[in-house]
Amino acid sequence: MEGYTIRLVEEADESCCPKCGKHSAARSGLKLFAEEHDQPVCRTCGKKWAPTMVALLDLAVTAERVGKSCRHLLTPPMESLLDLAHAAENYSHRAPKLRAG
Ligand SMILES: [Zn+2]
């Protein structure tokens, strides 16, 4: 089975998804990569081939956004907490069950 990784892209160029050829705009941030390709996989293909990794990516992106916007607040807005809870729940549904030990 093909491996996938999440990488931080600091200087993004326009790219084409290696799976379907879909064009994506240059945007920095966390992206999903298939192990043997240098270009990030688009969200549609990611959901098809590596749904767990997409859910993890969503969780990381949501956590980053909530963390940034709530850094100076004593109590984060309910909407942010719900977004984070939703992303976490999504990931935990897709994550492989890990055995302790
Ligand atoms: Zn694609």
Residue 88 and residue 67 share a domain: yes
- Say if 99 falls within a structural domain: no
> What is the whole-number distance in angstroms between the Cα of residue 19 and the centre of ligand 1?
5
Tokens 């879909």 — which residue?
A: 22
- Say if 75 falls within a structural domain: yes
Q: Are 35 and 53 in contact (CB under 8 A)?
A: no
Stretch 96-101: mean pLDDT, rounded? 69
Burial class (CB in 10 A: 0-12, 13-18, 19+), 94: middle
| pLDDT confidence tier of residue 26, bands split at 50, 70 and 90 | confident
Q: Are 19 and 13 in contact (CB under 8 A)?
A: no
pLDDT at 14 over 80: yes
Q: Using one digit for the tens of pLDDT, what is the confidence trace for 42-87?
A: 999 999 999 999 999 999 999 999 998 888 888 889 999 999 999 9
Residue burial 50-75, b: 16+ Cβ < 10 Å; e: rest: beebbbbbbbbebeeebeeeeeeeee
> What is the whole-number distance in angstroms between the Cα of residue 85 and the centre of ligand 1?
27
Residue 40 and residue 74 share a domain: no
